[in-house]
Structure 1
Amino acid sequence: MHQTLSFKEIIARSPKVFIIGVAGDSGSGKTTFTNAIRQIFGPDMVVTITLDDYHKFDREERHRLNITPLHPDANNLTQLESDVTRLKEGKAIEKPVYNHASGTFDSPVPFPSKKIIILEGLHTLFTPTLRSLVDFSVFVDPDPEVKYEWKRQRDLEQRGYSSADVDDELIHRETDYEAYVKPQRCMADAVIQVKYSKYGKNLGTVKNIYSISLLQNPMDQTIRDIALSIDLMSLLSFHESNFCIEFSDAKIECAFLRALTFDGEMNYDTVRKLEISIEQQTGLHPISMFENRKTVNATDIIQLILSWRIINRRIFLQENYVRS
């Protein structure tokens, strides 16, 4: 009797390596928005490369040369292109390792190729070669005020910077961000914008509540639709938190896009229906990222919707691969 393979099993058996590129400034929350993919497919199938490992100079050398990590010349993009090409072919690499705690380089480590590879960094979409290797791309674009708050907190608490060092770097790097990192917004399949919540700026620090927008062009490769169901009776009777959903035009320097925005908190039951919809269409079971939580925030919801976009692209590529 023939047994139908699940989508996860199909990916595991496929020779194709699927690469997700996530670009954005340092400290912009790039890792957060691909967490759903990591959780859905698991560590056996998903591996992440942080492009900071491809810095050309250590922290002391950058200070001496007066160059920021955002400048392409401060990064070994040629080696990055070569390594990603090998990984896409299913081959292992010796990956460099940048140690953020010390600001120096550790010894390279063996790094295997897996079926889904996530590239996260400042220059993920910077070169034509890197863009050609990426199957789905995202640019994470928080408002400057939000980004500076996140970066300050991370660098002070996790990377041993002094407050004066953080202030100096924020000022020093802005020109390079505008010149080399921000233009990659125009090359991404989706742009995620993050702003302080309309319900209170302090909610970001206290409860991780922000206004999150997913910007994109209309999809031309939709395999299946999903539904975001809202139980109005439950919403009107029992919902205790403020939230809003908005769909609107959004303009960046290169295009008019459509923006789906969430702000505040929603009942978990609403998102659970979205999880079930993705489960039914992909055969991936179970998807329960926010189990045992009463509410979910805008970041959680965008993670899940973005994961559907990525899975949808992978299904499209698989069906094309089979037909060819």
Structure 2
Amino acid sequence: MDPKPNFKEIIAHSPLIFTIGVAGDSGSGKTTFTNAIRQIFGPGLVSTITLDDYHKFDREERRRLDITPLNPEANNLGTLETDIAQLKKGHSIQKPVYNHTTGKFDSPVPFSAGKILILEGLHTLFKPGLRELMDFSIFVDPENEVKYAWKRMRDMERRGYSSDVVSGEIYRREKDYQEFIAPQRCHADAIIRIRPSGYGEDKGATKNIYNISLLQNRMKRTIRDIDLNIDLYSMLSFHDHDFLLEFSTQMVDCARMRALTFDGEMNYDTIRKLEKSIEYQTGIHPIAIFEGRETVTPTDIIQLILSWRIIHRRIFIRERV
């Protein structure tokens, strides 16, 4: 087969700004699952906006008003929508900056979008106007046990909060999460569910191994010759680790979705063909995100499969335009 044209170069010369919206609770791992896209296309083409920059109130004001960032009224979502629309037209904006260390706002900075713009935050899919601006959308949905452990680690180790403060914030935010954040699952193209590993709950803290499901809607349009291969020979002949691979139908709040679930560890060679398939489809060489590692985790595998799904959507937009 003839090699595909270099999709990275095609994107670089295209006027289209492709937007990926990632929604979920604070500390839910939203950045992690788009890392493969960042690595495949590089910082020259990929830029990110964190929606925390669009908070309406600083930390002290929120405390005084007794309002959490999960409440849409605590955020400038109208300004966010306007800014994204401008960025998709190729214009620059003056982007606000929220400083998590001080809990205050720094001076706005000039910002221009890369050809792939990732938006991560609590309310990425909250408003219809925001959803219309997203070309692909993801909701990251860890179970509470996992989410709270991550939040404690982040807020205590990186942000210097006490255990009591973090516990209070977790309790205070739960009502707003259920009212304003969780319903956004219904608007996502893909949902990532994260549970403790069935091979031991300690696997998450010690080896970053979780039971992870990628739930997706049925593709309305597909492109021929897009395929993903798992090397069964490698898996059956050389695999030294326990793992689970399952395909099922799972219920989300408003729909049935197809779920691909992984747990445990896989040898890197087992999924090398996934990377090779993306290389072939994009013309980008090499794609070897996990090269040099003996094993890969469900997080790694889901990153790779999700990047293929995003590339598929971007290819369709290119062909349509």
**TM-score normalized with structure 2 length:** 0.97
Which deviates further from its counterpart, 240-249 or 222-231? 222-231
Structure-2 residue corresponding to 1:69: 69
Structure-1 residue corresponding to 2:229: 228
**Unaligned 5+ residue runs, structure 1?**
none
The alpha carbon displacement at 1:268 in A equals 0.3
The alignment status of 1:13 with 2:10, answered yes or no, reads no
Structure-1 residue corresponding to 2:33: 33
Which amino acid is 1:204 matched to?
Answer: G
Structure-2 residue corresponding to 1:131: 131
The alpha carbon displacement at 1:239 in A equals 1.6
The alpha carbon displacement at 1:5 in A equals 4.3
Q: Residues of 2 paired with 1:188 and 1:218: CA distance? A: 12
The alpha carbon displacement at 1:6 in A equals 1.5
Q: Residues of 2 paired with 1:314 and 1:238: CA distance? A: 35
Question: How do 1:184-199 residues align onto structure 2 when only pairs under 5 Å count?
Answer: 184-199=184-199
In structure 2, the residue corresponding to 1:315 is in which secondary structure?
Answer: helix
Q: Residues of 2 paired with 1:295 and 1:99: CA distance? A: 36
The alpha carbon displacement at 1:258 in A equals 0.9
Which amino acid is 1:75 matched to?
Answer: N
Which deviates further from its counterpart, 235-244 or 20-29? 235-244
Deviations 1:26-67 (A, max 9, x none): 000000000000000000000000000000111111111000
The alpha carbon displacement at 1:256 in A equals 0.9
Structure-2 residue corresponding to 1:42: 42
Q: Residues of 2 paired with 1:230 and 1:237: CA distance? A: 10
Residue pair 1:198, 1:263 contacting (<8 A) in 2 also: yes
Residue pair 1:90, 1:114 contacting (<8 A) in 2 also: no
The alpha carbon displacement at 1:113 in A equals 1.8
Deviations 1:88-132 (A, max 9, x none): 011111111111111111111111121000000000011111101
Give aligned-pair identity as a percent.
66
Q: Residues of 2 paired with 1:74 and 1:123: CA distance? A: 11
The alpha carbon displacement at 1:230 in A equals 2.3
**Aligned residue-pair number:** 318
Structure-1 residue corresponding to 2:264: 264
Q: Residues of 1 paired with 2:221 and 2:302: CA distance? A: 19
Structure-1 residue corresponding to 2:311: 311
In structure 1, the residue corresponding to 2:213 is in which secondary structure?
Answer: strand
In structure 2, the residue corresponding to 1:248 is in which secondary structure?
Answer: strand
In structure 2, the residue corresponding to 1:70 is in which secondary structure?
Answer: coil
Q: Residues of 2 paired with 1:196 and 1:104: CA distance? A: 35
Residue pair 1:19, 1:136 contacting (<8 A) in 2 also: yes
Q: Which runs of 4+ in 1 moved over 6 A?
A: none
Residue pair 1:101, 1:158 contacting (<8 A) in 2 also: no
Structure-1 residue corresponding to 2:80: 80
Residue pair 2:4, 2:280 contacting (<8 A) in 1 also: no
Q: Residues of 2 paired with 1:150 and 1:201: CA distance? A: 14
Q: Residues of 1 paired with 2:218 and 2:78: CA distance? A: 33
Which amino acid is 2:248 matched to?
Answer: S
Residue pair 2:46, 2:117 contacting (<8 A) in 1 also: yes
Q: Residues of 1 paired with 2:307 and 2:221: CA distance? A: 15
Question: Aligned Cα RMSD in Å?
Answer: 1.2
With over 3 angstroms needed to count, the CA separation of the structure-2 counterparts of 1:5 and 1:104, relative to structure 1, is same
Q: Residues of 1 paired with 2:161 and 2:205: CA distance? A: 20
The alpha carbon displacement at 1:228 in A equals 2.2
Q: Residues of 2 paired with 1:320 and 1:251: CA distance? A: 32
In structure 2, the residue corresponding to 1:87 is in which secondary structure?
Answer: helix
Which deviates further from its counterpart, 23-32 or 222-231? 222-231
